[in-house]
Chains A and B, each alone.
Chain A
């Protein structure tokens, strides 16, 4: 079962533009994480935001969390062709085994 739903499913932009991806989830969380996956490879952790946090930054990445709306967004500023990948949100839910549940991902293409 997948808790998070990313939107859009696919996004195509030009180098230098900003990319915004959204994630909605259903149940209360401990934290929400974003991962990147290049084609046919393993996932790479980008950022973790806890349920009591509203915004986090890491380099060109900015993540927001709105627990009242059960949603998060990932903003990549000044995108590069190397940012082309699939991006997944994953939630760690309260009261369970604290496993991560991943969404279906957003496929980002950055055109040079």
Chain B
């Protein structure tokens, strides 16, 4: 069964350092999402792509976060510089349609020290 791939699974970094996460969605899924999930909370959407275009990045802290999906397939989320408050699980998901069932990857657990 096709799955959403994410790497790395775990990342520990010092504050003020740069960090990057990678996501490979299920083949053929045009919509890709990046979520941040703080412990004990539900996922919060950071950015949504339709193919290579950003559909929604209203909750993305653009002073330090950036996301790209250059060829409309895999995607990278970057944080520079990382802050202590960025410690969270970063989840990637993909779907056929913008408001349909979403398929999630295993996530990247980020710890900023």
B103 sits at the interface (CB 8 A): yes
Segment among B66-74, B76-84, B94-102 that sits at the interface with chain A: B94-102
- From A30, A92, A97, B55 is in contact (CB under 8 Å) with A97
Looking at the complex, which one of B4, B99, B101, B103 makes contact with A98 (CB distance below 8 Å)?
Answer: B99
Which of B42, B100, B104 lies in contact with A103, CB distance below 8 A? B42
Cross-chain pairs A/B with CB under 8 angstroms, 26 sampled = A33-B101, A33-B102, A40-B89, A41-B107, A42-B107, A43-B93, A43-B102, A43-B104, A45-B101, A45-B102, A48-B100, A90-B42, A97-B55, A97-B56, A98-B98, A98-B99, A99-B33, A99-B56, A99-B99, A100-B33, A100-B45, A100-B102, A101-B45, A102-B43, A104-B40, A104-B42
CB distance from A86 to the nearest CB of B (A): 9
For the complex, give the distance between the alpha carbons of A67 and B78 in Å: 39
Residues of B within 8 A of A (CB): 4, 33, 40-45, 48, 55-56, 89, 91, 93, 98-107, 109
Knowing A30-B99, A31-B99 touch, does A44 contact B104 (C-beta < 8 A)?
yes
Q: Which of under 10, 10 to 19, 20 to 34, or 35 or more describes the interface residues of A? A: 20 to 34
Q: Is the interface of A mostly helix, strand, loop or mixed?
A: strand
Q: Which residues of B contact A42 (CB under 8 A)?
A: 4, 91, 93, 104-107
In angstroms, Cα B52 to Cα A80, docked, is 42
Q: Is the CB of A48 within 8 A of B101?
A: yes
